[in-house]
Amino acid sequence: MKDKKAFKPCDLVIFGALGDLSRRKLLISLYRLERSSLIEPDTRIIGVDRYPQENSGFAQITHTSLQEFLHEEINDTVWERFSARLSYLQMDLTQPDQYKQLHAAIDPKTRIMVNYFAVSPFLFKCICQGLDKSGILTEESRMVMEKPIGHDLSSSKEINDEVAKVFNEKQVYRIDHYLGKETVLNLLALRFANSIFTTNWNHNTIDHIQITVAEEVGIEGRWEYFDKTGQLRDMLQNHLLQILTFIAMEPPVNLEARSIHNEKIKVLEALRPITISNVHEKTVRGQYTGGYLKGKSVPGYLEEEGANKESTTESFVALRVDIDNWRWADVPFYLRTGKRMHNKRTEIVVYFKQLPHNIFKDSYRDLPPNRLIIHLQPNEGVEIEILNKIPGIDEDIKIQKTKLDLSFSETFKQHSIFGGYEKLILEALRGNPTLFLSREEIEQAWTWIDSIQDAWAHINDAPKPYPAGSWGPIASVALLARDGRAWEE
């Protein structure tokens, strides 16, 4: 998976270094990588933003961010090493002549320039042009960007076209931070390193699959962005579809980026379109009302700060997804994601088929199906539910549901479990594109999502209310109940 040639020092330039993404995620992840001595010793981090600041001021802001978001004590020795890498440039990114100072600050002869675009997409074009005109870029330079890469197919194409004028596809690293999460990556190992799963991963043995990404958080100061976006575009177009592609793809030829991207694209191409004709039976949109979370009262979506009381944006989505290929014929995937749900839980549940005949009827009238449960967060792990005989010398064989339970933190005590950003930033510094999204993947995902969004706009139904702290609207229960199934609760 690793491209050994690329282990060179980098000049990591963070555009938007004082912004939320940088302070909450990027700088924290970089510090964690430093703590594990994973950053090349000569790599430098250059923060760029529009506010005046000294190098020492940027270091101070970074330190304060660590105190706020690291959730552990800052180690003095690690901080000393880390802060020595930091420098800051004040730039107006819309002014091409300002890129001269960036030119003077980097060293393309000894370091690879990695440009992290942690800014709003409307600045992408200016940055690309500024970098290009100043002649800083080399063939080795990279750019890292993340969602939102557009809000539909055509806006995503516009962004990708601008970027493509300056960077070729191999230089572009599009982040979906879920692809850096340990358990998402483990899907590759689970599926393609274990014969019990490789041989049983299809419509012959699997009944259906559920993917839940439930969040406790509400909108919290992001109302304006979120209200234009909604949960379908904010979470499903990217994170849930990415998980889906990892579960559903065919075995890639190897772990190279091209092989994995090819297989993921095939899954996206096989998604059965959701259109006006089937949107009612296949989708549920919800919006939270006031309620209780962990005993505390929380406001509804329309009562959040800055809210437009008329908004019909969804904060919850549930879908039935069908994949039209041989492997997944008649195996529905049920996806749901929402804000302000009962608790934070991201998991995949694979329901295997029920046995055709039960010889243990006296003990268990309906043998429940085996289930594989993959916990992505908060506690990473894998469980398999199997049926076992209850020990005893009774005449009857009594059966009970039991769990083979592999908790990552227990089993891999000696290994640190890194977050998605750490893994992906490191891979961008190393020059390994495997876990990043290709342009084709993003555009294919938008094509499918646009059709749902258009159908919703056409039918113009209000989202179904659900109280904060619940598992979503009743209609999402009905979505599965219609097929004789129920969500994992």
Measure the CA–CA gap between 366 and 204, rounded to whole angstroms: 20
- The verdict on 182 binding ligand BG6 (CB under 6 A) reads no
We find the least distance from the C-beta atom of residue 152 to ligand BG6, in angstroms, to be 16
Are the C-beta atoms of residues 110 and 128 closer than 8 Å to each other?
no
Nearer to ligand BG6, 234 or 314 (CB): 234
- The verdict on 49 binding ligand BG6 (CB under 6 A) reads no
Query: What residue type is assigned to position 243 of the chain?
Result: I
We find the least distance from the C-beta atom of residue 235 to ligand BG6, in angstroms, to be 6
- The verdict on 385 binding ligand BG6 (CB under 6 A) reads no
Q: Report the 10 Å Cβ neighbour count for 339.
A: 23
Which stretches of 54-163 are assigned E, i.e. beta strand? Answer: 86-90, 112-117, 142-146
Name the residue number minimizing CB distance to ligand BG6: 234
Taking residues 190 to 219 in sequence order and writing x for each that binds ligand BG6 by CB under 6 A, - otherwise, the string is: -------------------------x-x--
We find the least distance from the C-beta atom of residue 178 to ligand BG6, in angstroms, to be 7
Residue 181 parent element (H or E): none
3-class DSSP state for residue 189? helix
3-class DSSP state for residue 426? helix
Candidate residues 49, 234, 314, 322; the one interacting with ligand BG6 per rule CB under 6 A? 234
We find the least distance from the C-beta atom of residue 215 to ligand BG6, in angstroms, to be 5
Gyration radius of the chain's alpha carbons: 24
- The verdict on 255 binding ligand BG6 (CB under 6 A) reads no
Cα separation values, 329 from 272, 365, 372, Å: 11, 29, 20
- The verdict on 422 binding ligand BG6 (CB under 6 A) reads no
Respond yes or no: is residue 63 known to be catalytic. Answer: no
We find the least distance from the C-beta atom of residue 205 to ligand BG6, in angstroms, to be 30
Nearer to ligand BG6, 91 or 214 (CB): 214
- The verdict on 227 binding ligand BG6 (CB under 6 A) reads no
We find the least distance from the C-beta atom of residue 299 to ligand BG6, in angstroms, to be 17
- The verdict on 11 binding ligand BG6 (CB under 6 A) reads no
Nearer to ligand BG6, 179 or 235 (CB): 235
- The verdict on 404 binding ligand BG6 (CB under 6 A) reads no
Nearer to ligand BG6, 121 or 252 (CB): 121
The DSSP line for 340-395 is: SBSS-EEEEEEEEPPPS--S-TTT-SSPPPPEEEEEEESS-EEEEEEEEEPPS--S
Nearer to ligand BG6, 141 or 245 (CB): 245
| Catalytic, out of 239, 261, 342, 375 | 239
- The verdict on 417 binding ligand BG6 (CB under 6 A) reads no
The DSSP line for 143-178 is: EEEES-S-SSHHHHHHHHHHHHTTS-GGGEEEE-GG
Are the C-beta atoms of residues 106 and 11 closer than 8 Å to each other?
yes
Nearer to ligand BG6, 146 or 443 (CB): 146
Nearer to ligand BG6, 215 or 227 (CB): 215
| Bridge partner residues of 208 (DSSP) | 351
Are the C-beta atoms of residues 434 and 427 closer than 8 Å to each other?
yes
Contacting positions for ligand BG6 (CB under 6 A):
215, 217, 234-235
Supply the residues annotated as catalytic.
239
